[in-house]
Amino acid sequence: MWGPSRRNPSATRRVLHPRPGAPNIQNVLKRWQSWIPTGGGLRDEDWARRHRLLTLLLAASVGGLTIFGAFRDALAAPWLTTVLLMLACVVAAARLRSRRLASIAVAVGLNVLCGGFVSMSDGLTEAHFSFFIAVAALALYRDWAPFGVFLVGTTLHHAVFGTLVSEHTYDHAGAAQHPLLWAALHGGAVLLAAGFQLVQWALTEDEERRAQENLDDREAQLSVAFDETPVPMAMLSPDGLLLRTNSAYRALMRLPDELPAGFGLADLPVTPVGHTMSELFDVLTSDTSYNAVRQYQRTDDGEMIWADTHSTSLFDKDGRLKLVFVHAIDVTESRRQQEELRHRVRHDSLTGLLSRSAFESDLPLLLAGDTAAVLYIDVDRFKSINDGSGHAAGDDVLKAIAARLSALVPAGSLITRVGGDEFIVAVPGGAEAGAQVGEAALAAFAEPLPVDDNLLNVSLSIGLAMAADAGCAEDAVLAADTAMYAAKRAGGNRVKVFNQQMRVSVQERITGEKMLREALAGDRQQNLPVWFQPIVRAEDGEIVGAEALVRMCTADGTILGPGHFIPAAEETGLIVPLGEHVLRTALRYLQEWSDDLRYISVNVSPRQLAEADFVPLLADLLTASPEIDPRRLVLEITETAMLGSSHDVRERLETIKALGVRIALDDFGTGYSSLTWLQNIPADVVKLDRSFVAGLSSDPRKSSIIQAVLWMARSLGMSAVAEGVEEEADQLALHAAGCPFIQGYLFGKPVPPAEFSERLQRSRMATTP
């Protein structure tokens, strides 16, 4: 640490205590000493520069004295003696290594020069001025030795030579008669001149001392700021040596407090990644200021660190590098946080796959070099897995799916989870490469996924589309999405390749959704009329019930069947408000036809059944119409809907039955385990699908199946309705098999309520005795 020294407070000093009234000699001496210069203090290079100047001046004076002697015709013995002695002093001044002896040689030489000049001038008074000039010149040494030698030599010269050869020392008779007096006068004058030099010398030393003290204070302050700052800093020499480092820099570089001599950048225990230390130093000194964040590797343990390095190069007036000041801030932690944030932005937090935004950013880059196949993947019935086994299990399934997909896609592919249970894969190459990945994915998921010590069966619906260039990346993703929905509608667990007909279907669904939203936003009774199809008794054709079927009335009065808008309603969730509208309408007509119609059945979609508010809504509607017997309302649930539902179907249906509402199992026979559902689902009615009814009269196998189902339904206390009856022969076969109720075009298509009311009256009149 640079700074002013401190005295030891425990140290003692001896103080002279003068007698009362006696002068304090010590103080007097100190006061006089303060006016006397201490001498010395010049740096070696400064002293050498001044000594060289005075030596050259002395050597040049030899020539000057010779020219003066020639001009005065005085090149005699005094000149020769003077010149020889001066040359000896010049040689001594140049050869002697001791600063003091060399400066004394110059002082003696100047004494000889001045004395010889006076002698060759025959004691001319003006020649004595040379002594005053020499005194001022020797003051440059700021050393008592040459200064004192010259003063002694001057006094001796005036005294000795003034006595022995007064005519060559003084140019007047009075000096010849009293040489010692004039020697004293001349010596005194030189001493006075020297005195003023001493005063100037002392004042200069005092000023330099104060300047040095200020410099020391500032350097101490800078030293504290440099050493104690938490920012790692170092000073480098032009050849890359560490001149000075602070504790923060040594801590960052893991250096000891004391560095060995010659320790440089090449000795640091770190290596810049991609460069050598020599190359880095060239970069640091390539300009006045440099700033960059660089990565380094520690040589002791291989740890990677990042440092924000800033350097400032100092040059002299000639452009030569003098010093390099460097500070390096450790930004490893912030860099890691940035990398982690960048990774979070670019990757899905659950699966580690690319995020949707990163995929959309990288896909055009992939397509810039080649075509690619885009596969849109959806997990079949994932909601049932997620809700049935818990969200944690669902997350584990998604992570396992991501791992399997990542393992089977070729190198250079992109894969992302776009939310929920949907994934997108972009495979470089043509349609064949995409198809291979799709088939490989289906094969990979033929094996159950191990999740929490359980094995879960998972299947995928995959849509495949081609992307030819970066400009069609988004269109390719949308096309693959469309193909995926086609695969899902086809039953799932398959790959569908996109074609234009799928785009037409999508457009139709979009159009249907738009019309349905507009219809729901307006007058629902007018825009979405509910028609009714009769359900008759097989024995005599009497209408005993009706199925409520919704239609759509366009602005131009066209009536559209459910195929135009029900798929869109199912996909968008609009089926919920639409189903509520149908349910309310059915209850209103149940009340209107209370004397003529036993029941009305209403289709309930799995989306409706999954709504937490569905059962409370049904209860509120029944409470608001107490005159309606709840048993007259039948809710039709498809078997496939129950298979795809993620909720506890039996529990919810039991709650509905507790309200008094009956349950019908619609489209029976189209699912996977119909007989099992008959035993497990609390249904009251079984509706046989038209695929079993059509051609029944000519197919003995269908007749056997129908009879078996009817027998099981009766044994479980259920009624049965055969759907899609269009031939009279099939009606007779059903009646013979014991099917109690029939529905189909043979007995009437769906018609508006007014027309159905008329048919209901005619049916009642025809069957009444």
Mean pLDDT of 278-286: 80
Q: What's the pLDDT at 209?
A: 78
The residue that leads in pLDDT, 265 or 743, is 743
pLDDT for 354-374, tens place per residue?
Answer: 988 889 888 998 888 788 999
Question: Who's near 171: CB < 8 A, 6+ residues apart?
Answer: 122, 123, 124, 125
> What pLDDT was estimated at residue 517?
92
- CATH topology for 511-763 is TIM Barrel (3.20.20)
> What CA–CA distances, in Å, run from 606 to 296, 635, 642?
60, 12, 7
More confident residue, 643 or 380: 380
Which pLDDT score is estimated for 426? 93
Per-residue model confidence as pLDDT tens digits over 118-149: 888 877 878 888 888 888 888 888 787 887 88
Q: What residues contact 325, with CB distance under 8 A and at least 6 apart?
A: 233, 234, 235, 236, 311, 312, 313, 314
Q: How far apart are CA 36 and CA 17, in angstroms?
A: 25
- Cα torsion at 422, 428, 433, 434 (round to 10°)? 20
* CA separation for the pair 213, 211 (Å, rounded): 5
CA–CA gap between residue 498 and residue 375 (Å, rounded): 10
Residues of the chain with pLDDT > 90: what percent?
28
pLDDT(670) > 50: yes
Q: Which of 409-423, 547-561, 675-689 has the lowest mean pLDDT?
A: 675-689
Residue with the larger pLDDT of the pair 717 and 661: 661
Segments making up each domain of the chain, as ranges: 44-206, 229-336, 349-498, 511-763
Which three-class secondary structure state does DSSP give residue 663?
strand
Neighbouring C-alpha atoms within 13 Å toward the C-beta of 39: 12
pLDDT at residue 4 in the model: 37
Q: Which residue has the tokens 């249907």?
A: 512
CA 69, 75, 81, 87 torsion-angle sign: positive
CB 470 within 8 A of CB 446: no
The residues, any chain, with a CB within 8 Å of residue 379's CB and separated by 6 or more, are: 385, 397, 398, 401, 421, 422, 458, 459, 460
**Contact present, 743 and 547 (Cβ < 8 Å):** yes
> Which one of 3.30.70.270, 3.40.50.10680, 3.30.70.380, 3.40.50.720 gives the CATH number of domain 349-498?
3.30.70.270
Same fold, 349-498 and 511-763: no
For residue 769, pLDDT over 70 is answered with no
- Poorest-pLDDT segment among 150-164, 372-386, 417-431: 150-164
- Predicted local confidence at residue 69, as pLDDT: 84
Confidence of residue 15 (pLDDT cuts 50, 70, 90): very low
| Average pLDDT, integer, range 463-485 | 88
**Looking at domain 229-336, which CATH architecture does it have?**
2-Layer Sandwich (3.30)
